[in-house]
Structure 1
Amino acid sequence: MSDVKYEKPTINKIEFAMASKYGSPLKTQNIRTEIDGVSVNELTEKYGSPIFVFSQRQIEEKYNTLYSAFSSRYPDVTFGWSYKTNYLNEICKVFHNLGSIAEVVSEFEYQKARALGIEGKDIIFNGPYKPYEDLKIAVQEGAKIHVDNLFELNDLEKIADELGMKIPVAIRINMDTGTYPQWSRFGFNYESGDAYEAIKRMYDGGKMYLNGIHSHIGTFMLDANAYKVATTKIMQLKAQVENDFNAEIEYIDLGGGFASKSNLKGVYQSADVIVPTADDYAQAITDAIYVNNKSEKLPKLYLETGRAMIDEAGYLLTSVHGYKRFPDGKKGYILDAGVNLLYTSTWYNFNIELDKHYEGENEPSMLNGPLCMNIDVIEEHLMLPALDRGSVLTISPVGAYNYTQSMQFIRYKPAVVLIDTEGKARLIKEVDDLATVNYKEV
């Protein structure tokens, strides 16, 4: 006769008449046993837990869907892979092999792109802070410099004198697109005339000329029409500059911000309902270009979308370490992954899936991470059956920003696995250890 583990009984009130704030019905279990044919249990057994897992198949499908939506409507479009979204070397290589150039926002990311073999001419250098020497290198290597502020203009004028050259640059602008909050921190404002005055200064100084106009209006944008407004204003500024300075603007850049199928906290409609399609975004942008184009030649179109192409291809596998009862009767599970790895848990309700079917009814539960921090909560209200120590949970979508923003705090950063298009898993980043953390200490 096997021993039966005793657990003190508890009473939890469950409302049946309406949707509970805890979500799932009593007997419903969301289960994921594999990712692209590879068992989640085998992945954790081989590579450890927690572990990030990326699907190359899903990355390529997302890329091809989005690229097709734009290229079928517009003759000259190029994607720039947003390094800040996920700068793992093997992930960047997948996007570059698909045809993306690099979009970077720091000297670190610029150096990373160059180390991966991306030429300067195929790098878009964005961001509000570009160190002088790194900005000079980018100019020398022919990178697409997107000017953010007047101090950067000062630096570029000095660099032009040092190098004895006239520098082609793009300008980043911000504007009112009818959405809130307005991203006014980056670039020069369109409505106030600051953007035009900065461009005028470029031409008055004679050390730079404008070859591009860029705007990134926000993140997780649920209104495709906002891109129509942004594109219209960019095209109007383009026409004004070309007329006033006898210039030719080579390209426009609409940035990124396209939403993935993540579920926002505080939004009760499914992402499948509220997130625009690739066609919605593409139609809004390309229509506005055609309607507002005043020159004989159409501008080249750049896009820097990151989240929409990687988020749903990323998973975090985490294991149950233990559990406890809280004073209110709720069950609290302790996982080996927490907010140190899931930065975006502040904004999104993740999909939580079990590695198999568990016997018994669901009960109100909380998922806590391993950190000695009261804020380390992955999910505060979830209906779960009784889970065992070692049970594997799959958390998704987590492909965008979670790895790049994960913290080396209390615990080592985990390994990362990429499952290729043939369904083979390979390690693309080893788990950190003490040497990783201390190698620069003196």
Structure 2
Amino acid sequence: MIIDFERLKEISDIHGDSFYLLDSKKFEQNYKELQKAFRDIYSNTYIAYSYKTNYIPKLCKIVNENGGFAEVVSDMEYQIALKIGVESQNIYYNGPYKNPSAVEKLLLDGGIVNVDSHYELEIIKIIASKYPENLLSVGLRCNFDINDGVKSRFGFDVESEDFVDVINLINDINNIELTGLHCHFASRYIETWTGRPERMLNLISKYFNEPPKFISVGGGLFGKMAPSLKEQFDFDIPSYEDYAEVVATQFRDFFEDMEFSKQPKLIIEPGSALVGDAMKFAAKVINIKDIRGKKMATLAGSIYNINPTLNKKNPPVKAYHNVENEDKLRMYEDIDLGGYTCIESDYLYRGYTGEMSVGDYMVFENVGSYSVVLKPPFILPNFAVVDYNEETNSIEIIKHRETFDDVFRTYEF
């Protein structure tokens, strides 16, 4: 499907002045390319997709259908995985706050819970005592310095006696099995990735007589992005192959003399790396004004639709013009594109240069990461998501725009 003004207006007439454009084919392509980059070096690599980054069910289904796993951090995400048919043994439950009933169900069904703190271990001990005939699979989240200047609050400090005590406690309970180790750090810089596999493999050598079933190095990878976005970083953006070279090579070399059947699964947990460039956001230009010499436009969208983490980067954007308004087109330099909210700082783009007129659509790229899941129903409910397919020239509604009833159903009037 070729995206042009007429097609955008056609979607807009049904779904409103703003909406997301999902490219699920691109998401699937990203998944396969990232998996291949790692498996070409260490074949026993699996992707556990980070549901929290973008839990659109169609994307989660694509991962499951391609043999991937689900990485969840909430009872809600766990329910999504079950609803789309993910087998329990392919669900990894992470995060610092876990629903005890969800923990119990997942463990009894054969899933993996990565323990983040002592309070979770106490929950699991109770479950183990209730069901002595069930073998429960757990992992431990490991916390160590990756030289990114951040002291993470998650997991167990691997340099502490606490870490040793936890391992011994798990090993002392007959029906709890420590099946793997897990780590995750937010830094996407390639330099901070070098130490992750090294530290994790050292822990395996120190605390396991035989390799565990899995070793997870988490997520935090850059994905694909347009040149205009790459230029806003003061370093080169790593490719899938760059990350694989740093991580998978260490696993291959460490386990090269071991039978494949005994090699642990290398788990990576990407989110943004898969979905970042697989979504666009279209917003209609509502108004253009001049305030004391500064040109400003108001769009039927918000910074919270495209950049809810409020980083300082301008996303790639393209204007689609209404041919019937060509006489109203004007060339603007350094115009700010503001949002519909009443927040002064709500700008989708600062310093745009290009032709524009009221009624145009501005389409922002690289908005798939966290935009759908972090957007609050502030002033306006959330917008629709449509999947567009260039090969078949078709669109599919993935998420309907929210209504008054959707937002206020849980309130009492």
Q: Normalized against structure 2, the TM-score is what?
A: 0.90
1:229 maps to 195
Question: Quick check: which has more Rg, 1 or 2?
Answer: 1
- Which residue of 1 is the match for residue 300 of structure 2? 336
Superposition deviation, residue 157 in structure 1 = 0.6
- Cα offset, 1:440, TM superposition: 2.4
Q: How does 1:86-235 map to 2 (within 5 A)?
A: 86-164=54-132, 165-182=134-151, 184-219=152-187, 221-223=188-190, 225-235=191-201
Change (3 A) 1:97 1:207: closer
Q: Secondary structure at the match of 2:406?
A: helix
Q: Counterparts of 2:378 and 2:243 in 1: how far apart (Å)?
A: 38
Q: For residues 138 and 150 of structure 2, what CA distance do their matches in structure 1 show?
A: 28
Distance in 1, matches of 2:7 and 2:159, equals 54
Structure 2: runs of 5+ lacking an equivalent: none
Identical-residue share of aligned pairs (%) = 26
2:43 equivalent among 75, 82, 102: 75
Query: Taking structure 1 as reference, are residues 95 and 391 closer, same or farther at Cα in structure 2, changes over 3 Å only?
Result: same
Kept after mapping to 1: 8 A contact 2:334/2:350: no
Q: CA deviation at 1:330?
A: 1.1
From 280, 291, 305, the equivalent of 2:253 is: 291
**Matching residue of 1:84:** 52
Q: Give ranges in structure 1 of 5+ residues lacking alignment.
A: 1-31
The residue that corresponds to 2:344 in the other structure is: 374
Alignment of 1:396-435 (within 5 A): 396-420=365-389, 422-435=392-405
| Distance across 1 between alignment mates of 2:89 and 2:230 | 44
- Kept in 2, the 8 Å contact 1:33–1:354? The answer is no
Shift of 1:203: 1.6
Conserved? CA contact 1:313–1:397, under 8 Å? yes
Per-residue deviation at 1:384? 3.5
- From 346, 355, 370, give the equivalent of 2:311: 346
Q: How far off its partner does 1:334 sit? A: 0.7
State yes or no: 1:241 paired with 2:207.
yes
Aligned equivalents of 2:232, 2:189: Cα separation in 1:
12
Alpha-carbon distance, 1:53 to partner: 0.7
Partner-residue secondary structure (3-state), 1:169: strand
* Contact 2:42 2:251 survives alignment (8 Å): no
Distance 1:388 1:350 in 2: 20
| RMSD, matched Cα | 2.6
Residue 96 of structure 1 deviates from its aligned partner by 1.9
Supply the distance in 2 between the matched residues of 1:288 and 1:55 (Cα, whole angstroms): 34
1:347 Cα offset (Å): 4.3
Letter in 1 for 2:388: I
Deviations 1:75-134 (A, max 9, x none): 212111211111111222222222222110001110111111112111111111012122
User: Would the aligned equivalents of 2:94 and 2:114 in 1 still touch at CA under 8 Å?
Assistant: yes
Distance of 1:354 and 1:133 partners within structure 2: 49
State TM-score, norm by structure 1: 0.84
What does residue 308 of structure 1 align with? Answer: 273
Residues 211-239 of structure 1: per-residue CA shift (max 9 Å, x gap):
111111224x121x432311011111111
Match of 1:56 in 2: 24
Superposed displacement of residue 363, structure 1: 2.1
Q: Tell me the amino acid that sits aligned with residue 242 of structure 1.
A: F
1:361 equivalenced with 2:331 (yes/no): yes
